[in-house]
Amino acid sequence: MIQFKNCFQCVAYLWCYQRKKIDLQTAREKAEQCDKQFKGKGTDLVNIIGTTKCISLKKAFKFLNQEKVIFEDFHLVKFWD
């Protein structure tokens, strides 16, 4: 269930590849095979465990880098207490 066509569109692109250069064909193949819980476009919605609210994947990924949330499942996060 990929909503994007290649890794360049993914919110986690820099996290996955840092400074490595990949070509478009490789990026397409990797996007099809990717099974990370935080893959997707920054505007995708992520559900928060224990609430009915959602946040954008971009914001959830930012919180993940700040160690404020943990991804429990695909586009499903839990805030640290």
What pLDDT is recorded for position 48? 95
Report the candidate in 25, 55, 53 with the shortest Cα–Cα distance to residue 40: 55
Pair type for strands 54-56 and 76-79: unpaired
Convert 11-39 to b/e letters by CB count within 10 Å (16 or more is b): bbbeeeeeeeebeeeebbeebeebeebbb
Q: How confident is the model at residue 15 (pLDDT cuts 50, 70, 90)?
A: confident
Q: What is the CA radius of gyration of the chain?
A: 13
Q: Kindly state the average pLDDT of the residues 30-51.
A: 90
What confidence score (pLDDT) does residue 18 get? 85
Look up residue 66 and give its two tokens: 């700040």
pLDDT (0 to 100) of residue 2: 46
